Amino acid sequence: MMHHKTRVRFAPSPTGALHIGGVRTALYNYLFAKQQGGDFILRIEDTDSSRFVPGAEEYIRETFDWLRIPFDESPAKGGDYGPYKQSQRKDIYKQYVRSLLDKGAAYIAFDTPEELESKRAETANFQYDASTRGKMRNSLTLPEEEVQALIKSGTQYVVRIKIDPGREIIVDDMIRGRVVVNSSVLDDKVIYKSADGLPTYHLANVADDHLMEITHVIRGEEWLPSAPLHVWLYKSLGWEEDMPQFAHLPLLLKPEGNGKLSKRDGDRLGFPVFPLQWTDPKTGEVSPGYRESGYLPEAVVNFLALLGWNPGTEREIFGIEELITLFSIDKVSKSGAKFDAEKAKWFNHKYILQMSDHDLAALFIPVLQEKGIPASLEKTEKAVGLIKERVHFIGELWEQSSFFFVAPTVYDEQTVRKRWKTETPEQMRQLIALIAGMDDFSAENQEKTVMDWIQRNQLHTGNVMNAFRLAIVGAGKGPHMFDITGVIGKEETLHRLERAISTLP
């Protein structure tokens, strides 16, 4: 091997929103590179202009910014191996097409789409290969002068790789081991089209991996069938010595385990399959994203890391630095990983619990501001600290904590029927007097004073406290009562009690 430094790449085609499986591929590349002190490169594979979707490249950039997975080299950042967008590398590829043609490892073909179509109609399982190329219109069958004349006259052509039949092609895969394929099953794939002067995916991908000195190609299982052709191209181009090592990652499966996770599964079961919300520029259709659904980037990174890899222990919560230390391709599973939306939620909950009240409050204050609710950082910190145990998403904080910030305007009917009894208004009036007389309004002192009063008067603790809660919260939910009143303060507590007495029967 000529190279020493580990260099891996994430090479998406900008054809729409990035699927969460693609995000996992990028994450594994990142973890692998950083563990080895290597580089992680973003390369945009946009040679197929017919599949280009506006906004897709920006979406990729935003995704990894959000997840805090930085690229060492990318279209935006640049680097010594640029440009990092294949559409800007057009001229680079031409010499390799030329060299393959000169070596006789590739040939020019003039068959029109219609001609190919009729061949396919006439021969079952038609494949353009050693067994059929002799009957087609290409530089192997036509006289040299005719080939030159056709090119001169501007006839569109493609260049095809010439696969010799009956050879063993060996793909050494770090996850799957050695895969041996007979070259006879491959077809003479198109590697270049004169129409746009661009190579196809296969040639551009191989040439760039070589030119960018990529040491390991870590990508989704769906690319495994392309690997023998890629190995063939490396050999044909004389780059065999520097061939990267392959690792084809297991598929992300539907929650039920049968088949690949699709956007439809997400819609059906109510979870996002995209990192960020995506609006299809053609149809205007909006698909939900993890970010907009209230997931924390650290939680997404953590659960994706464990979809197809595990450190061999029961532990599940890992920060990015720990993941970098522990990750290993050996522990990536060969079989597909079932997507588990409940588990994703669980991770998010765990990360919310791990956050400091201060940081949670900082995320929550903008939500409050949007609702026009002024809240101090101190109060917000206390409120989120008391209810974070109950939420899975930042978006649920409001639902669980609104009563800290606004007095109830309506009271839950069922709770009223059950908890607001004939004797309640009188008891609440006494409670008001008791509270009004408190100098120390700490949760501890409130609790002590109120409990003493209940005992002295032989009241029923449950009845009093449930009615008290109804008056303060508007329903039968929420954390410890005196923690709530401690946060909202004495004035507000008295005010809410008065209001309940005057509003409720």
Active-site positions read 263
Work out the number of other CB atoms within 10 angstroms of the CB of residue 104.
11
Apex CA 423: angle with CA 422 and CA 424, to 5°?
95
Q: Give the nearest distance from C-beta 87 to ligand GLU in angstroms.
A: 13
* Residue 74 contacts ligand GLU per CB under 6 A: no
CB-based burial, 16-37: b 16+ in 10 Å, e otherwise: bbbbbbbbbbbbbbbbbbbbee
* Residue of 52, 66, 126, 223 that binds ligand GLU (CB under 6 A): 223
Nearest distance from C-beta of residue 13 to ligand GLU, angstroms: 4
* Residues 24-63 close enough to bind ligand GLU by CB under 6 A: 45
Separation CA 14–CA 332 (nearest Å): 27
**By C-beta, is 200 or 493 nearer to ligand GLU?**
200
Helix (H) or strand (E) holding 286: strand 286-287
Distance CA 505, CA 136 (A): 91
Q: What minimum distance in Å lies between the beta carbon of 53 and ligand GLU?
A: 12
Q: Minimum Å distance from CB 54 to ligand GLU?
A: 17
Angle subtended at Cα 52 by Cα 46 and Cα 53, rounded to the nearest 5 degrees = 130
**How many residues sit close enough to ligand GLU to count as binding (CB under 6 A)?**
7
Q: Which is nearer to ligand GLU, 224 or 451 (CB)?
A: 224
User: Which residues are within 8 A (CB) of 139 and not within 5 positions of it... i.e. 6 or more apart?
Assistant: 107, 108, 109, 147
Binding of ligand GLU by 13 (CB under 6 A) = yes
Return d(Cα 496, Cα 499) in angstroms, integer: 5
Interaction residues for ligand GLU, span 317-346 (CB under 6 A): none
What single letter denotes the amino acid at residue 218?
I
Query: With CB under 6 A as the contact rule, which of the stretches 10-18, 60-68, 105-113, 302-310 interacts with ligand GLU?
Result: 10-18
How far from the centroid of its chain's Cα atoms is residue 196's Cα? 33
The stretch among 6-14, 152-160, 319-327, 384-392 that binds ligand GLU (CB under 6 A) is 6-14
Interaction of residue 219 with ligand GLU, rule CB under 6 A: yes
Near ligand GLU by CB under 6 A: residue from 7, 8, 12, 129: 12
Figure out which of the listed residues 63, 139, 183, 205 binds ligand GLU, where binding follows CB under 6 A.
205
Q: What number of other Cβ atoms are within 10 A of residue 410's Cβ?
A: 9
* Closest listed residue to residue 140, CA positions, set 163, 99, 106: 106
The one segment of 11-19, 71-79, 181-189, 371-379 that binds ligand GLU by CB under 6 A? 11-19
**Which chain residues interact with ligand GLU by CB under 6 A?**
11-13, 45, 205, 219, 223
